[in-house]
Amino acid sequence: MSGNRQLFFMPETERPKMLGLDTCGDFMPFYHEGVFYLYYLHKYSIYEVTTTDFIQYSEPRMAIACGSPEDQDWHIGTGGVIEKDGVFHFYYTGFNEGNLHREGDLNEQVLMRAISSDLKDWSKDPGFFVRPDKQCYGNLHWRDPQPFRNEEAGEYWLVVTATEKDGLFRRGGCTHVMRSDDLDHWRHGDTIYAPRTFETHECHDLFRIGDWWYMVFSNYTRWWETRYRMARSPEGPWITPAPDDMFDGRAFYAAKTVSDGSRRYLVGWQAIRANMDDKQHYQWGGSVLVHELIQRDDGLLGVKPPETIRGHFRHMSELKPTPRLGEWTVNAETIGREPYGFGWLELGPMPAECLIRARLSWSEETIACGLMLRTSGDKLNKWCQVRIEPRRRRLVFDRSNKFDNDHHFIEERYFDCGDVREAELTIIASGNVIVIYANDTALAARAYDFEPGSAGLFVESGEVRCAEFGILEPSR
């Protein structure tokens, strides 16, 4: 394999007509002795890549190979790793789509397991084979097992994606738990979450921070999305955080968490667009995207860039402020005013890989403000834009190459600063990936049809103040 060595790892270099199975998806992170093992789905098997900082990655290698068309794990699906007494147990999904059309006691999805003593060589365990509990659940969605030690219950749990047996159409997704004292003998537990909202809850991850339990899952019923719920007990009841229960935008998917003992990271994938075209749909699979989780005072979760990635950018680029439209004052604090439309200030070249940081505040009447990225052309022919829209309470990534025949959604997130009217922005760009952090809210996107160009500030119908602005490149 020729691994993609951009900041956001992908096992193969992105290219037109790239199939989703050539990318990576559904990361199953595991931490052991200072190393993050990122297992992921690739070409119907499970592959592995390791990192200590989410910047430098090892060469990818196969961990568990899929079987033949006659095997239950003809295609392998998501799972998770747990260690007990020096032995590593990898629970995963065995897919065989052909079983749906065969007679007999056959299932499309079955829970399976592999064993290892070193996280390198895995042996499939033929004795572990858990079919759907058809007395209580449907016979389709039965996958994505997540093992963990539930210290509160004094036992091991295996969280399973399931479907209610007689649930509503495309609303029967539920979360089932299996229980064990030793990882070898499992018994069916209970349904701990069945909101009658989604077709399925994929890629579960249950974990505890302080007094709160959290359940992260992904869903494709309405959007591609990674959501979370919170509870005082792993049994529930599970609360939907209001008004925002997402971590990122509509192309950040199948994220699961991993902790090194002091920090917890959310590891998912940022989808690629078909044919590397901004006007095409997102497709399954993409490149790894990692956020560090933040627990707010009220128990709600936010995200920020990992400190290792932030520290990767240390070389400050020289700025060349040039007012383009509107009234701009550039001193210790940069102030821009344009009461009746759009104004912007070009600040300097934007390298292909960089981190941009800015601290903005705005007047009460301001419609929108934020950053211009990848700008080019005498008439601002091409541009990307990070928009804070205070009145609409949203964060937006917009771009210039949308025309009448392009009806794809813009990238947007709920974002509310309340009466504070200020935000700290961090933008990380690498290749066609752009990741935006506004305070502790993230929004990632792709921008294919853009040269590096320049970066700057903008304001629409109001006033913006910038107390800090910097463009940083990786350390030389």
pLDDT at position 452, please? 93
pLDDT band at 167 (very low <50, low <70, confident <90, very high): confident
Q: State how far the Cα of 69 lies from the Cα of 114, in Å rounded to an integer.
A: 19
Angle at 154 between CA 153 and CA 159, to 5 degrees: 60
pLDDT band at 2 (very low <50, low <70, confident <90, very high): very low
Return the percentage of the chain with pLDDT > 70, whole number: 97
116 and 171 Cβ atoms separated by less than 8 Å: no
Query: What value does the mean pLDDT take over residues 426-451?
Result: 96
pLDDT band at 268 (very low <50, low <70, confident <90, very high): very high
64 and 76 Cβ atoms separated by less than 8 Å: yes
Q: What is the pLDDT of residues 284-335, one digit of tens each?
A: 999 999 999 999 999 999 999 999 999 999 999 999 999 999 999 999 899 9
Peptide bond into 237 cis (omega under 30): yes
411 and 399 Cβ atoms separated by less than 8 Å: no
In CATH, which superfamily holds the domain spanning 20-311?
Glycosyl hydrolase domain; family 43 (2.115.10.20)
Q: Do domains 20-311 and 314-474 have the same CATH topology?
A: no
Instruction: Identify the helix (H) or strand (E) that includes residue 368.
Output: strand 368-376
pLDDT at position 406, please? 58
Peptide bond into 243 cis (omega under 30): yes
Q: Is 314-474 assigned to CATH 2.60.120.560?
A: yes
pLDDT at position 407, please? 58
Neighbour-count burial for 311-345, b at 16+ CB within 10 Å, e otherwise? ebbeeebebeeeeebbebebeeebbbbbeeeebbb
pLDDT band at 404 (very low <50, low <70, confident <90, very high): low
Supply the mean pLDDT for the chain: 94
306 and 292 Cβ atoms separated by less than 8 Å: yes
- Sequence ranges of the domains in the chain: 20-311, 314-474
Q: Between the CA of residue 252 and those of 96, 147, 247, 329, 411, what are the distances in Å?
A: 26, 23, 9, 38, 11
Strand order in the sheet with 301-304: 252-259, 264-273, 282-295, 301-304
Q: 3-class SS at 42?
A: strand
Q: State how far the Cα of 14 lies from the Cα of 25, in Å rounded to an integer.
A: 14
